[in-house]
Amino acid sequence: MEPIQASLKKWMRENKNFKQQYVQMRESVLSDPAVKQLLFDHPELTTEQLDKHLVKLYEFTSQSKNCDACQSLNECDNILKGYTPHLYVENGDIRIAYDKCFKKIKNDEKRKKESLVESLYMPKDILNASIADIDHRDKERSEAVRKVIGYLEMIGTEYAEKGIYFHGPFGVGKTYFLGALANELAEKNISSMLIYMPEFVRAIKASLKDDSINQKIEHFKKTPVLMLDDIGAESQSAWFRDEILGSILQYRMMERLPVFFTSNYSLKQLEQHLATTNRGDTETVKAGRIIERIKQVSREVPLYGKNRRM
Ligand code: ADP
Ligand code: MG
């Protein structure tokens, strides 16, 4: 008999605890200001309804609504991260609904914008670049800044069907300009693709046997805004120049899709550079054809100024 008695006692003890806890929970729920307000606004609510929804009301009181107190969305410890509850009455019954908090809304918007900027092998600081951070006082850069702002203002017109070919010395912020522009385009819901040319060439060569290569190239052809960073710094191969770069540029030229470039070479210098392949051949005509296409999809803009890497 002993074990049964013991477990009975245990059950009674726990049951008592349960009752106590229930009363405590009810009191704390009813003293919550938002619950009080709900009962004040809806005097028709009965005690039975209240008791029926006590767990729901408890859930409401246990969830944080004070989003200002969180430094970031990650700190949110609500059941659904970034969602805060509110109570309402529908058809005479108490209901609970969850809304996105302002931090979550902001975060979602930021993510959506980030998803509009695709990149291959680009450094992180470049992806956070912003036009507002470009130093306008640097006179040598002001033409380039004007051209970028002008471009943004002309979006939707024929002018914007051509991108910009930025050229100038190492470290002046050419790549930074591309990042800032990509983020500015994302603000306008236009997606772009930034590619660092030297890595791109290496990756294309490495994945030659890969079936996905054609799919990737199709993507580069069709993305609304393509940005090729550091053209001319890649190791030269006639095959890449003619079959990959040539075909991407050809397509974008026909479809009037803009391409942005950065380079240490002016177009004239790039022409010479492209004419010499890694086998030492000189291919002036083929290089000229690429330059012609670059001119069709972009406008040449020099970018000078101090070296920001020092
Ligand atoms: P480039 O492509 O011309 O060689 P980068 O764009 O890589 O030069 O810029 C060189 C360095 O200076 C990078 O670290 C970049 O983040 C920084 N930088 C460039 N422009 C700015 C700017 N306007 N404000 C802050 N940092 C900048
Ligand atoms: Mg660069």
User: Token pair for residue 206?
Assistant: 């490495």
* Cα separation, 20 vs 263, whole angstroms: 75
Of the candidates 104, 137, 170, which is a domain's last residue? 104
Give the CATH number of the domain where residue 140 resides. 3.40.50.300
Q: Give the model confidence (pLDDT) of 203-247 as tens digits.
A: 888 877 777 788 888 999 999 999 999 999 988 888 899 999 999
**CA neighbor of 237 nearest in space, from 199, 195, 276:** 276
Compute, in angstroms, the gap from residue 309 CA to the centroid of ligand 1: 7
What confidence score (pLDDT) does residue 136 get? 65
- Measured from the Cα of 166, ligand 1's closest atom is 3
Compute, in angstroms, the gap from residue 197 CA to the centroid of ligand 1: 17
User: Residue 82: which domain range?
Assistant: 16-104
Q: Which stretch of 135-144, 168-177, 246-255 has the lowest confidence by average pLDDT?
A: 135-144
Q: Is the CB of 124 under 6 A from ligand 1?
A: no
Average pLDDT for 19-25: 86
Q: Is the CB of 85 under 6 A from ligand 1?
A: no
Question: Has residue 309 got a pLDDT over 80?
Answer: no
Nearest CA to ligand 1 atom 6: 173
Q: Is the CB of 302 under 6 A from ligand 1?
A: no
Query: Is 1 part of any domain?
Result: no
The sign of the torsion formed by the CA atoms of 237, 241, 247, 249 equals positive
pLDDT band at 310 (very low <50, low <70, confident <90, very high): low
Question: Has residue 74 got a pLDDT over 70?
Answer: yes
Residue 101 near residue 82, CB atoms below 8 Å? yes
Q: Is the CB of 134 under 6 A from ligand 1?
A: yes
Is the domain of 43 the same as that of 131? no
* Cα separation, 51 vs 192, whole angstroms: 55
Is the domain of 144 the same as that of 283? yes
The whole-model pTM stands at: 0.75
Task: Give per-residue burial for 192-213: e unless 16+ CB within 10 Å, then b.
Answer: bbbbbbbebbebbeeeeeeeeb
The separation between CA 2 and the C-alpha centre of its own chain, rounded to angstroms, equals 67
Is the domain of 130 the same as that of 279? yes
H helices of 264-310, where? 267-275, 284-297
Query: Is 8 part of any domain?
Result: no
Neighbouring C-beta atoms of residue 21, cutoff 10 Å:
10
Phi, psi of 91 (to 5 degrees): 50, 40
Question: Has residue 267 got a pLDDT over 90?
Answer: yes
Q: Which residue of 228, 308, 309, 310 sits with most ligand 1 atoms within 8 Å of its CB, as the best mutation to test the pocket?
A: 308
What confidence score (pLDDT) does residue 246 get? 96
Q: Give the model confidence (pLDDT) of 103-145 as tens digits.
A: 999 999 888 888 889 888 888 888 889 888 876 667 777 888 8
Compute, in angstroms, the gap from residue 145 CA to the centroid of ligand 1: 14
Query: Is 11 part of any domain?
Result: no
User: Token pair for residue 29?
Assistant: 């729920």
Of the candidates 73, 104, 135, which is a domain's last residue? 104
Is the domain of 156 the same as that of 265? yes
- Measured from the Cα of 230, ligand 1's closest atom is 2
Is the domain of 122 the same as that of 90? no
Is the domain of 134 the same as that of 217? yes
Query: Is 213 part of any domain?
Result: yes
Q: Is the CB of 170 under 6 A from ligand 1?
A: yes
Ligand nearest the Cα of residue 125 is 1
Residue 195 near residue 229, CB atoms below 8 Å? yes
Of the candidates 77, 104, 131, which is a domain's last residue? 104
Q: Which stretch of 12-21, 68-77, 133-142 has the lowest confidence by average pLDDT?
A: 133-142
Question: Has residue 15 got a pLDDT over 90?
Answer: no
What confidence score (pLDDT) does residue 124 get? 86
Total structural domains within the chain = 2
Neighbouring C-beta atoms of residue 163, cutoff 10 Å:
24
Q: Within 13 Å, how many C-alpha atoms sit on residue 58's CB side?
A: 13
Compute, in angstroms, the gap from residue 162 CA to the centroid of ligand 2: 20
Q: Could you tell me where the beta strands, DSSP code E, fall in the chain?
A: 83-90, 93-100, 117-120, 163-167, 192-196, 225-229, 259-263, 298-302
Ligand nearest the Cα of residue 166 is 1
Decide which of 13 and 109 is more confident: 109
Q: Give the model confidence (pLDDT) of 279-294 as tens digits.
A: 767 789 999 999 999 9
| Residue in the block written with tokens 């009965």 | 46
Is the domain of 33 the same as that of 177? no
Phi, psi of 33 (to 5 degrees): -55, -40
Question: Has residue 1 got a pLDDT over 60?
Answer: no
Ligand nearest the Cα of residue 169 is 1
Average pLDDT for 65-85: 89
Q: Is the CB of 173 under 6 A from ligand 1?
A: yes
Is the domain of 277 the same as that of 245? yes
Query: Is 309 part of any domain?
Result: no
Average pLDDT for 61-82: 89
What confidence score (pLDDT) does residue 152 get? 94
What confidence score (pLDDT) does residue 90 get? 93
Is the domain of 98 the same as that of 134? no
